[in-house]
Chains A and B, each alone.
Chain A
């Protein structure tokens, strides 16, 4: 009894401790939210799209079957196609100038790199 109370107290104390990392409890803007939705849907429908496309992009199966498949894939929700996903900046939701490796826009990247908060990044000079 006393031991469990002690454990609980310790855990609470650890949680209250300030963590140096940035924490966000919301998406930066609505566009980012929509992008998140599209990604989720694309993940769900990925297999189905793959299979229907396998039927469509074919020279063996009859054309009628392929036309049916065309119609089927068009009937899927529009956000399920992966083409609609945009690689936005994770911190600022900037759609352009995003480096894929860090998922950050160029401005944010530069900001962090100059403050020496990017591991392994230094100013190039040659």
Chain B
């Protein structure tokens, strides 16, 4: 049930006491250990705690612990955690600011960060200028392996102290946890100032923007800390698992011998390895063999020769058919059967041509624009009206050929010609 996670590897094997070790492992950030103890004890804890889920719960617990002080942004942070959230302006801004904050100095003194959130400084300068100044002042921190180890030791000490605290303050209340939130792991005051400046530059909802920015910062800090702690261990594990691949001397010899060919040509000259590429690809050489004349124009002589053969007589055709009928074998497999059926016309040709058998050779405009056939009709009157309707219907008919449509119109013309005297009587 209990799986070893990265953090457990850090601490090593311990006496397994579910009530106590859970908070220890959950203090990945190492900040709200007591707060989380309180939370965990108050909630119902499931017996099985998988490594992956534990990370989530830890993060969630950290989030809850930090944000309980500033109650109004609880929901916002919870929503912002999901990946599928559409990028808001604040997040876009953050993508750049988080990069900058990664290069920030590590927070050293536990300052009271939450009180600073509300205060905005320096109304003399415009917020933009302030922001730019702060970004310019930010330094790049280079972390070395020594620093990592120092961090590690610090972490171990912290967790040891937290463990002791957990034993004592197992039943701490919400208020205690809130205080712990404020005390532990504060944000860099410069970052806070930058966040406030950025938020003030927004047209509306400054407070909300600021709170969101700060929440993002805190989250980022937490993730970077986690990576720092977990980074070295993971790399060590990975490298230790890797093995060096050994090449046998036989394989090496084969590779070398492939490069140097000791084959001799007919003339006594060595065949260079460059040649085989053109030979081996096609099986036969590229330059030998009959030309297909696909890309070169066939000479006019051959064309003339074909023309003189033209118009085979009926008897020749019959003879050819007889030979084909005699020599044909029953189809050996389904494919040949299908080929036979296609030739006979039983099976359609694939890919299916929608206009198979009704080519006509006519373009679409001949089907649709049929007004030119109405020249002989009177231009006014009910007959014209009627014929225009007929033409409209014919143009929409995809099943008739152009000839058939013209035949319809012709018939009407003849009909009305015959009835002309009758019509004039009316």
Contacts and interface: CB of A to CB of B under 8 A. Distances in A.
Interface of A: 3-4, 6-7, 10-11, 47-48, 51, 54-55, 58, 60-62, 64-65, 68
Nearest to A62: B426
A65 B325 contact: no
A58 B386 contact: yes
Contacts of B325: 7, 10-11
Nearest to B407: A47
B322 A64 contact: no
Nearest to B423: A65
A31 to B, nearest CB: 31
Contacts of B322: 3-4, 7
Given A7-B325, A68-B422, A51 B415 contact: yes
B419 interface: yes
B423 A60 contact: no
B385 A10 contact: no
Interface of B: 319, 322-323, 325-326, 382-383, 385-386, 389-390, 407-408, 411-412, 415, 419, 422-423, 426
Contacts of A3: 322-323
Q: What secondary structure prevails in chain A residues at the interface with B?
A: helix
**Closest 5 A/B residue pairs (Cβ):** A7-B322, A60-B382, A60-B386, A60-B385, A61-B382
Contacts of A48: 411
A65 B411 contact: no
B384 to A, nearest CB: 10
Nearest to A58: B386
Most B CB within 10 A of own CB, among A3, A7, A10, A11: A7
Nearest to A54: B390
Contacts of A47: 407-408, 411
A97 to B, nearest CB: 30
B172 to A, nearest CB: 67
B415 A64 contact: no
Contacts of A64: 422, 426
Contacts of B419: 65, 68
Contacts of A4: 319, 322
Contacts of B415: 51, 55
A7 B326 contact: yes
Contact of A51 (B323, B326, B408, B423): B408
Contacts of A6: 326
A60 B415 CA distance: 16
A59 to B, nearest CB: 10
